[in-house]
């Protein structure tokens, strides 16, 4: 066994989130900064490590032994054990195999759902104090069923801690679903090495720092909570400054140190990714995440906790030359061919200028952005420049096409330009994917229907990546000025409201929102109707229920795809969790082939082929 590496700071991205496609950027940026300032630092992504671990045969077999599974879950786990090598080479190794990547990726996500279901790691947060529940309290939720996911989490965490002995352990919490695993990790560290300084930071901690600090038991599990940027805090701790003297922390004694020293994004070098399995994240090809700014230059959308923090001059961005230097250095270090600009709202002119500088030096790569439906995107020549410079994907938040509602939430865009923007992006060849939001203040059922009809009318030009209800997160204008909101009342935050039923592991959490008129559940039904009826035509995969059947569909025989299992007259599509009952008088099964026995059977096999069950 190799001796443990001694470092000043060890940064960890905890489970459990769906951020599995590429590294979350907080750790690579902090490690790069610390190293440049003489602090030894390492980084570990426990989230992707847990993903890799839970799809290994030993974990899958352990979950099968525990039991309590339905037929679909059992069949899926057995398939994954038998076909592990193929699944791993396709999704993690990114090799061309007999298994299409999009099918493999969906199967891995299905596996993770089964492996995590009922685990203490994904216990629902009804209040913030639930995140601090002890291992013994959480064990009561599992009972006699067992908790394979938590067992593997602890094993992987222990291995990680043994590999890097550190004075300071920083845990970066970007999503609410990471809170329970983060405190679980902190308790483990304190049991194993009580003198280790454990610091919580990240987006969710900055949103909830004061509330977390006020909870009984927080500082029995961690030493400090970071209230802002991690660079100066971790640099001071890494250099041996006592916790109580470091600015920008809350400890058991209260707010520590003087006012935090200012830190600008331009002080950060390009991020570094060593220590992370950069090539083994779950995107179809390695993706390089980068940011060009901190905050949002608009910053006024009332529901956006990230953008609202930019008020008062807090917004920062790089120059084109600085961003170009980051892109060039990171491309050279990683060998990636795709850059994902992951700003909450990209400055498109800035990014395009930087990319053109890098490409002019002979670097060939493609890239994506996240931004609003800016008026700039009605300019076909500008969009053509973006495409010529390698832009292939644009992710956008879509709330409504009602200008009245856009003005209420202060979105700062014009609904009458949406159609033109969608048209231009489609014609130029930049894929548009939307994250759709429901539950807007004062929205009427007719406005929700009109917004849905806009999406349906343009379904062949766009994709839908996610749907979620509006959440009143702390530190948003929605919460701060609740008494002035249109048609909503906002609770005090003691009880958490989430996107359970829409987002992965309930998504964002915030204050309870109640509505005048239609209830939240009625408004959620409007959003579900949008998901049900709008065809996501630009996504790389389509669920069978969105596929239109041909009236002439016909096949005499069908060879089942490997991920479609025949079981006692039923076909189980492990990719989509679909069950198909066979009409045995019309179709017989001679695995792996279905054979039609009548004209009706030929029609049925044709429909199954169109649904992606097999090929004729």
Residue 139 has pLDDT above 80, yes or no: no
* Averaged pLDDT, 452-469: 93
For residue 140, what pLDDT is reported? 43
Burial of 484 (0-12, 13-18, 19+ CB in 10 A): exposed
CB neighbour burial string for 94-114, b if at least 16 within 10 angstroms, e if fewer = beebebbbbbbbbbbbbbbeb
% of residues, the chain, pLDDT over 70: 96
| DSSP designation for 554 | -
* Averaged pLDDT, 179-189: 96
Give the HSE-up count for residue 167: Cα atoms under 13 Å, Cβ half-sphere. Answer: 15
For residue 3, what pLDDT is reported? 54
For residue 144, what pLDDT is reported? 38
CB neighbour burial string for 460-474, b if at least 16 within 10 angstroms, e if fewer = ebbbbebbbbbbbbb
Residue 314 has pLDDT above 50, yes or no: yes
- Residue 339's SS3 state is strand
Cα gap 359→328, rounded to integer Å: 9
pLDDT, tens digit (0-9, with 9 covering 90-100), for 68-105: 999 999 999 999 999 999 999 999 999 999 999 999 99
* Averaged pLDDT, 524-546: 77
For residue 550, what pLDDT is reported? 82
C-alpha distance from residue 440 to each of 164, 434, 525 (Å): 46, 16, 13
* Averaged pLDDT, 530-558: 76
Among 284, 412, 296, residue whose Cα is nearest residue 337: 284
Q: What is the pTM of this model?
A: 0.94
Q: Which pairs from 517-521 meet CB under 8 Å and 24+ separation?
A: 517/444, 517/487, 518/445, 520/439, 520/469
- Residue 342's SS3 state is coil
Cα gap 192→169, rounded to integer Å: 13
* Averaged pLDDT, 321-339: 97
- Residue 164's SS3 state is strand
The band of 515, judged by pLDDT with boundaries at 50, 70 and 90, is: very high
Among 256, 317, 237, 203, residue whose Cα is nearest residue 37: 237
Residue 145 has pLDDT above 80, yes or no: no
For residue 258, what pLDDT is reported? 73
For residue 311, what pLDDT is reported? 82
């Amino acid at each position: 066994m190799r001796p443990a590496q001694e470092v000043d700071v060890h940064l960890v991205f905890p489970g459990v989130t769906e951020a599995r496609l590429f590294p979350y950027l907080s750790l690579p940026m902090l490690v790069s900064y610390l190293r440049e300032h003489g602090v030894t630092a390492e980084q570990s992504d426990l989230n992707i490590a847990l993903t890799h671990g839970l799809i290994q045969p030993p974990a899958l077999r352990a979950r099968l032994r525990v039991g309590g599974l339905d037929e679909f879950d059992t069949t899926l786990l057995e398939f994954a054990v038998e076909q592990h090598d193929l699944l791993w080479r396709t999704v993690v190794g990114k090799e061309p195999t007999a298994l299409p990547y999009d099918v493999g990726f969906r199967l891995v996500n299905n596996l993770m759902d089964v492996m995590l279901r009922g685990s203490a790691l994904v216990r629902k947060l009804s209040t913030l104090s639930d995140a601090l529940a002890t291992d013994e309290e959480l064990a009561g939720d599992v009972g006699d069923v067992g908790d394979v996911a938590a067992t593997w989490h602890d094993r992987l965490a222990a291995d990680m801690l043994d590999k890097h002995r550190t004075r300071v352990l920083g845990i970066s919490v970007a999503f609410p679903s990471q809170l329970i695993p983060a405190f679980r990790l902190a308790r483990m560290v304190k049991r194993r090495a009580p003198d280790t300084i454990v610091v919580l930071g990240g987006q969710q901690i900055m949103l909830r720092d004061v509330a977390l600090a006020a909870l009984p038991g927080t500082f029995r599990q961690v030493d400090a909570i970071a209230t802002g940027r991690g660079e100066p805090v971790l640099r001071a701790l890494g250099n041996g400054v006592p916790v109580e003297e470091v600015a920008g922390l809350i400890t058991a004694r209260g707010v520590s140190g003087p006012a935090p020293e200012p830190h600008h994004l331009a002080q950060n070098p390009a991020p570094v990714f060593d220590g992370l399995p950069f090539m083994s994240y779950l995107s179809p090809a390695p993706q390089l995440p980068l940011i060009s700014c901190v905050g949002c230059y608009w910053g006024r959308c009332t529901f956006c906790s990230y953008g609202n923090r930019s008020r008062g001059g807090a917004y920062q961005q790089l120059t084109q030359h600085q961003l170009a230097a980051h892109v060039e250095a990171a491309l050279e270090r990683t060998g990636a061919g795709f850059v994902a600009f992951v700003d909450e709202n990209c400055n498109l002119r800035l990014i395009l200028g930087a990319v053109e500088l890098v490409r002019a030096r002979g670097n060939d790569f493609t890239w994506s952005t996240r931004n609003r439906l800016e008026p700039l995107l009605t300019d076909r020549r500008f969009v053509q420049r973006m495409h010529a410079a390698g832009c292939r994907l644009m992710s956008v938040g879509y709330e409504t096409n009602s200008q009245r509602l856009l003005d209420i939430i202060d979105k700062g865009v014009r609904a009458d330009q949406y159609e033109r923007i969608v048209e231009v992006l489609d014609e130029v060849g930049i894929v548009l994917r939307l994250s759709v939001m429901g539950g807007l203040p004062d929205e009427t059922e007719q406005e929700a229907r009109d917004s849905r009809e806009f999406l349906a009318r343009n379904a062949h030009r766009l994709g839908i990546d996610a749907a979620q209800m509006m959440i009143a997160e702390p530190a948003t204008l929605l919460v701060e000025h609740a008494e002035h909101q249109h048609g909503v009342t906002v609770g005090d935050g003691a009880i958490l409201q989430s996107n359970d039923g829409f987002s992965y592991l309930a998504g964002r959490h915030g204050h309870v929102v109640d509505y005048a008129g239609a209830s939240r559940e009625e408004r959620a039904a409007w959003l579900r109707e949008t998901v049900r009826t709008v065809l996501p035509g630009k996504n790389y995969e389509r669920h069978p229920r969105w596929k239109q059947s041909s009236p002439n569909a016909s096949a005499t025989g069908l060879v089942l795809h490997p991920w479609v299992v025949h079981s006692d007259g039923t076909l189980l599509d492990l990719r989509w969790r679909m069950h198909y009952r066979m009409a045995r008088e019309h179709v017989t099964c001679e695995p792996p082939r279905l054979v039609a026995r009548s004209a009706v059977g030929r029609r049925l096999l044709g429909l199954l082929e169109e649904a992606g069950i097999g090929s004729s």
